[in-house]
Amino acid sequence: MSHAALTRLQQGLAALKADHLERRHLLLDGAQGAHVTINGQRVISFCSNDYLGLAADPALVAAAHTALDQCGVGAGAAHLITGHHRFHHDFEAAFARFVDKPAALLFSTGYLANLGLIAALVGRHGEVFSDKLNHASLVDAAQLSGASFTRRYHHNDLVRLESHLAKSTAQDKLIVSDLVFSMDGDLAPVDALLDLAERYDAWLYLDDAHGFGVLNDGRGGLTERARANDRVIYLATLGKAAGVSGAAVAAHQSVIDWLIQKARPYIYTTASPPLLAACLLESLRQIEAGEVRRERLRSHIMQLREGLASLKYGALMPSGTPIQPLLIGANADAVRLSQSLLQRGLLVPAIRTPTVPVNTARLRITLSAAHSADDVAQLVEALHAIV
Ligand SMILES: *Cc1c(COP(=O)(O)O)cnc(C)c1O
């Protein structure tokens, strides 16, 4: 019997490969860090989100060992059964205090937090207003929320956003934006978004996956005004600068209480291992005391931007965050440059459509406090040699 569906998959895979769109794993041995072993090759990595170098930090590893002896490996149940460990509870309290919001809730991943939050806050008659460059998890979350409409506005285009809001008759409105845009490295205009949220009585949900731990003494990209405002809901993912795993939503107590009742990806999944929450408590201490790491990171960002200012072709996109994309254009060119860097022992991924718009393929360079100035210098030198 021929298996037509399988044949179609195989043709689809071949087509992706022909278009340089095939995604492949890199195989990591050992610990995450600035220098890693990938596919058996020792490389300097410019592609992790471990911005502060905490993923393999000895203090976090020690916290994991201690917690492991106390509470074992698995959570054993969902949060609302018996999986909610004191470590989860303590982390939520410490996180809320750190980001200066009344309460917080820990989800297993940022993707799940986004799915849970948007669906819980926006019912069938609600509308979601979403920046076109928002992370895929927010796009999916809006789609799966059952909201009657998702209005996508051009990147940071407040005029377009306001015109959508003005036309909306929905009772529940939610404006959602990456706070630091994950493929561009630029920031959302937080206070201007808040002005619109207030004028049109909407929630403002800000996903700070890439700002938490890095911006404003590590407290992330919220402004003071946004911290103090009840309509602002804040998300930090904890697998990036925090170096562990998970995501925390911080908001008004009633929002958190509502999520515990309604957020299905919170309710119907096993709690994350409590030892991860113990690691997160230690990570939070490291972030609070992390000014030396942040200073090193800022200095790497400056060194890279100065070093690449005179590149023959390809330009760094305007960004003051550890995400420093070098805009190339065509998928094939970005892939070729990425491969040629790899031959020199430098790992920088080519980000292509459909992750980014057509003809904006880029080398997405991410920097970490774990890099040395010499690591950054090697990347600058190699790029000048190959472009
Ligand atoms: C990485 C990322 C997420 C997903 O977080 P995970 O914890 O990795 O699932 C969500 N939003 C943005 C903007 C991200 O960059």
**Could you read off the pLDDT of 138-172 as tens digits, one per residue?**
999 999 998 888 999 999 999 999 999 999 999 99
Ranking 43-52, 81-90, 115-124 by mean pLDDT, the lowest is 115-124
- Going by C-alpha positions, the residue among 247, 174, 175 that lies closest to residue 209 is 247
Q: Given pLDDT bands bounded at 50, 70 and 90, which one contains residue 234?
A: very high
Q: H/E element holding 153?
A: strand 149-153
- pLDDT tens-digit profile of 331-350? 899 999 999 999 999 999 99
246: which residues sit within 8 A by CB, 6+ positions away?
106, 107, 108, 109, 237, 238, 239, 272, 276, 277, 280
Quick one: average pLDDT of 173-202?
Answer: 97
Quick check: 266 pLDDT over 80? yes
DSSP 3-state of 343: helix
Instruction: Return the bridge partners of 65, or none.
Output: none
Confidence check: pLDDT of 32 > 80 = yes
> Does the pLDDT of residue 44 top 90, yes or no?
yes
Q: What is the pLDDT of residue 284?
A: 98
CB 200: neighbour CB atoms within 10 A? 17
**Cβ-based neighbour number of residue 102 at 10 Å:** 14
Distance of CA 236 from the midpoint of ligand 1 (Å): 9
CA dist 336 → 328, 331, 355, 361 (Å): 11, 9, 18, 11
Ligand 1 pocket mutation, candidates 107, 108, 207, 283, criterion most atoms within 8 A of CB = 207
111 lines ligand 1 (CB under 6 A): yes
Q: Supply the pLDDT for residue 68.
A: 98
Question: Is residue 20 pLDDT above 80, yes or no?
Answer: no
In 3D space, the residue among 135, 252, 129, 258 whose CA is nearest the CA of residue 197 turns out to be: 129
Report the nearest atom of ligand 1 relative to the CA of 245: 7
Atom of ligand 1 nearest to the CA of 246: 7
Neighbours of 325 (CB within 10 A): 26
User: Which domains occur in the chain, in start order?
Assistant: 20-52+291-386 (3.90.1150.10), 58-288 (3.40.640.10)
* Burial category of 35 from C-beta neighbours within 10 Å (exposed 0-12, middle 13-18, buried 19 and up): middle
45 lines ligand 1 (CB under 6 A): no
Q: How confident is the model at residue 321 (pLDDT cuts 50, 70, 90)?
A: very high
Query: In the prediction, which pLDDT does 114 show?
Result: 98
Res 248 pLDDT > 80: yes
List of residues 6+ apart from 256 with CB closer than 8 A: 102, 103, 104, 105, 249
Coil vs helix vs strand at 250: strand
H helices present in 78-211, as ranges:
86-99, 110-121, 136-144, 158-167, 190-199
| Residue 109 Cα: closest atom of ligand 1 | 7
Q: Are 352 and 280 in contact (CB under 8 A)?
A: no
What pLDDT digit, counting tens, does each position of 90-125 carry? Answer: 999 999 999 999 999 999 999 999 999 999 999 888
CA–CA separation, 35 vs 219, rounded Å? 27
Using the mean position of ligand 1's atoms as its centre, give its distance from the Cα of residue 386 in Å: 32
Q: What's the chain's average pLDDT?
A: 96
Residue percentage of the chain with pLDDT more than 70: 100
Q: Which residue is associated with the tokens 């390809």?
A: 314
Q: What's the order of all strands across the beta sheet hosting 346-347?
A: 28-29, 35-38, 41-45, 346-347
Distance (angstroms) between ligand 1 centre and the Cα of 209 equals: 6
- What positions carry a catalytic annotation? 182, 210, 240
Please report which confidence band the pLDDT of residue 270 belongs to, taking 50, 70 and 90 as the band edges.
very high
Range from 74-78, 144-148, 176-180 carrying the lowest mean pLDDT: 144-148
The helix or strand, by DSSP H or E, that contains position 351, with its residue range, turns out to be: strand 350-351
Instruction: Tell me what the mean pLDDT of segment 129-137 comes to.
Output: 96
- CA–centroid distance, 210 to ligand 1, in Å, is 8
* Residue 6, pLDDT score: 97
Are 214 and 322 contacting, i.e. CB atoms less than 8 angstroms apart? yes
Our mutation pick for probing the ligand 1 site, out of 106, 135, 238, 266, counting the most ligand atoms within 8 A of Cβ, is 135
